[in-house]
Chain A
Amino acid sequence: MATSSYYVPESSRLPIFTSIGLICMAAGAAGMINHISSGTEGWAFPHFVFFTGALIVAAVLYNWFGMVIKESMGGLYSQQMDRSFRWGMGWFIFSEVMFFAAFFGALFYVRQWAGPWLGGSGDKGVSHMLWPDFIYQWPMFNNPAGADLPGPNAIIDPWHIPLLNTILLISSSVTITFAHHALRTMQRGRVIFWLAFTVILGAVFVYYQILEYVEAYRDLGLTLASGIYGSTFFMLTGFHGAHVTIGAIILFVMWIRIVKGHFTPDQHFGFEAAAWYWHFVDMVWIGLFFFVYII
């Protein structure tokens, strides 16, 4: 099955296409956003560039993973190669952790230091002279600038949708573990069932998250632009939601592969990587639930 020497792939077209796709997406997105902000003419071109880039990247990803799958099925990968993938995925997830750490850091900083200073306490409490009417509290319903930059009227109640979502995600972490066990003992029917179940839990989570956002924007006045509470709330939950979406898509791909009979009990790193990712997304949510919603 596995070869003994390390597999060094031949030259490939895919990376360069990925680079081209990425630069098109980046430049296109920048152009689009600038046009949205300034309301100037000529929006069509950046949109075109962005979507072309996105198409290229999507096509490349499809082919790239397809190729890796083929190579893996073809037995080109040694145990050592498998370890390279593991280390790669592990450290990639670590980098994602650090990405979220930046946003959590911002939240803690504001609550621990910036907010109290603006409200007149702590080392830089003199700053209060600039915002004499501001009283600091968290959640921040009133912003320092007061009426010019209104805060939210209310915030999301943690014990409804968020609690439900917590239960959904924790269950999904359990179900994916069931799927993994089943895979290791070669019970394909159960793998297919539990994995499908996991994907559905993820999808329901995203659905509720969207409901929550609609409620926030429509009824609570809680928006990106409602001061630092809204900023941290939406950035943290938004990036998390995006990760759940991506994770669910990856799991769905794994589901298709299992249906096609791709994995074996002792070689299924693709599945494991997806599962790691899913657990990571789950851990982030627990942090969110505590620090964004409850406390």
Chain B
Amino acid sequence: MKIRTWLSLSSIALLLSLSSLAKAEWGVNMTEGVTEISQSIYDLHMLIFWICVAIGVVVFGVMFYVMFKHRKSKGAVAAQFDESVTLEWLWTVIPTIILIAMAVPATKTLVEMYDASDAQVDIKITGYQWKWQYDYLGEDVSFFSNLSTSRDAVYNKEEKGENYLLEVDKEVVIPTGQKVRFLITSNDVIHAWWVPEFAVKKDAIPGYVNESWVNVPVGQEGIYRGQCAELCGVDHGFMPIVVRAVSQADYATWLDEQRAEKEAAALAALGDYSFDELMTTGAEVYAGRCAACHGQNGEGMGSMFPPMVGSDIVLNDVEKHIDILINGVAGSAMQSFAEQLTDVEIAAVITYERNAWGNDTGDIVTPRDIIDARQ
């Protein structure tokens, strides 16, 4: 008796905790998302899930019944039948019908997902090791978006924030109530652009362009987070996606701001910078953009990523140094930073590399040098 009550009490407790799991904020189930497509995918997911549960209950139910009733220890004597054509037909035909019932809504949803026509906004998304570039086609707006969580947080030297690993230095902004088409490609290896709330996941294939689209309903303005979903090298786990959906009016304002900023940066390059200013900026840029491959202290990483400390190019060859930053090294992970960094930033990081960690060359590279080199 005692054991019985214990058992039933604990199973009730288990059930309760399971159901609270289901409600918990951090989720045990697929998100319903915010778009029509994501909603129909969620419905599809739940439909198949419940069908599987039902089949499971029947199949496992029979099994458990058999395991309790037809035991030898309970004196069960084995029957000797080994065939039943009717039954075998039945369990071929019924699953077939069930499968067709699943295939119909699945096909419908898929056809919708594939229809990227009539988009009002076109954004070209390019995957890089390990960041995303966003190009607003026809708008003259283009920028890169990097992980902004600090390495110290990753290495547990610093408190992890709420959006640990899911935050970036510059969000991609889209308008609500409009069909936004994504043209997804890559600059190096395969990545995948995934935002669960939109149910958009598409591989970024170097040399090819994949289409996908989203239409965030008006009223669903907000921040949506996702991650790269295809193994793309060391920092595959560290290339998040953050989308800010804003009203159409805010979107227009934002576009204007972006253009203004770009002009300001070009102007800034013409100014004068002291060694200390360059070093400070350079240290920031280095930590944010270069350290992932070349190490926190320029020590390099494995045999694939050369150290900056004691590098011949860094110590001796200024021109080559500038050239590598602007053009990258073809066929390697060392990409061109011409588009990713402003002239000031490039000048600063070069100056920094040439003077940090005992690379005391005393060289100063100015933004003007970069402007010249770009020509």
Does A touch B (CB under 8 Å) in the complex?
Answer: yes
Binding site for B on A (CB under 8 A): 117-118, 124, 126-127, 129-131, 144
Nearest B residue (CB) for A117: B208
Shortest beta-carbon distance from B113 to chain A in Å? 14
Answer yes or no: B211 CB below 8 A from chain A CBs.
yes
Shortest beta-carbon distance from B182 to chain A in Å? 11
| Complex CA–CA separation, A124 to B209 (angstroms) | 7
Answer yes or no: B183 CB below 8 A from chain A CBs.
yes
Binding site for A on B (CB under 8 A): 124, 183, 185, 207-211
Q: List 22 A-B contacts (CB under 8 A).
A: A117-B208, A118-B207, A118-B208, A124-B208, A124-B209, A124-B210, A126-B183, A126-B209, A126-B211, A127-B185, A127-B207, A127-B208, A127-B209, A129-B124, A129-B183, A129-B209, A130-B185, A130-B207, A130-B208, A130-B209, A131-B207, A144-B207
B residues less than 8 Å from A131 (CB atoms): 207
| Complex CA–CA separation, A130 to B211 (angstroms) | 14
| Complex CA–CA separation, A126 to B185 (angstroms) | 11
Shortest beta-carbon distance from A142 to chain B in Å? 15
Residue with the greatest number of chain A CB neighbours at <10 A, chosen from B183, B209, B210: B209
B residues less than 8 Å from A129 (CB atoms): 124, 183, 209
A residues less than 8 Å from B209 (CB atoms): 124, 126-127, 129-130
Shortest beta-carbon distance from A135 to chain B in Å? 16
B residues less than 8 Å from A130 (CB atoms): 185, 207-209
Q: A118-B208, A129-B124 are in contact. List 15 more A-B contacts (CB 8 A).
A: A117-B208, A118-B207, A124-B209, A124-B210, A126-B211, A127-B185, A127-B207, A129-B183, A129-B209, A130-B185, A130-B207, A130-B208, A130-B209, A131-B207, A144-B207
Shortest beta-carbon distance from B326 to chain A in Å? 17
Shortest beta-carbon distance from B111 to chain A in Å? 14
A residues less than 8 Å from B210 (CB atoms): 124
| Complex CA–CA separation, A272 to B17 (angstroms) | 71
A residues less than 8 Å from B185 (CB atoms): 127, 130
Nearest B residue (CB) for A148: B330
| Complex CA–CA separation, A124 to B114 (angstroms) | 12
Shortest beta-carbon distance from B356 to chain A in Å? 29
Residue with the greatest number of chain A CB neighbours at <10 A, chosen from B183, B208, B211: B208
| Complex CA–CA separation, A130 to B207 (angstroms) | 7
B residues less than 8 Å from A144 (CB atoms): 207
A residues less than 8 Å from B183 (CB atoms): 126, 129
* Minimum-distance CB pairs A-B, first 3: A127-B208, A127-B209, A126-B209
| Complex CA–CA separation, A131 to B208 (angstroms) | 9
Nearest A residue (CB) for B330: A148
Shortest beta-carbon distance from B330 to chain A in Å? 9
B residues less than 8 Å from A124 (CB atoms): 208-210
Nearest A residue (CB) for B116: A126
A residues less than 8 Å from B124 (CB atoms): 129
B residues less than 8 Å from A126 (CB atoms): 183, 209, 211
| Complex CA–CA separation, A118 to B208 (angstroms) | 7
Nearest A residue (CB) for B207: A130
| Complex CA–CA separation, A149 to B165 (angstroms) | 39
Nearest B residue (CB) for A128: B209
| Complex CA–CA separation, A130 to B124 (angstroms) | 11
Shortest beta-carbon distance from A115 to chain B in Å? 12
B residues less than 8 Å from A118 (CB atoms): 207-208
| Complex CA–CA separation, A144 to B183 (angstroms) | 19
Nearest A residue (CB) for B124: A129
Nearest B residue (CB) for A124: B208
| Complex CA–CA separation, A272 to B124 (angstroms) | 60
| Complex CA–CA separation, A117 to B209 (angstroms) | 9
| Complex CA–CA separation, A118 to B207 (angstroms) | 8
| Complex CA–CA separation, A130 to B183 (angstroms) | 11
Nearest A residue (CB) for B208: A127
| Complex CA–CA separation, A118 to B206 (angstroms) | 12
Shortest beta-carbon distance from B210 to chain A in Å? 7
Nearest B residue (CB) for A144: B207
Shortest beta-carbon distance from A290 to chain B in Å? 29
Shortest beta-carbon distance from B195 to chain A in Å? 20
B residues less than 8 Å from A117 (CB atoms): 208
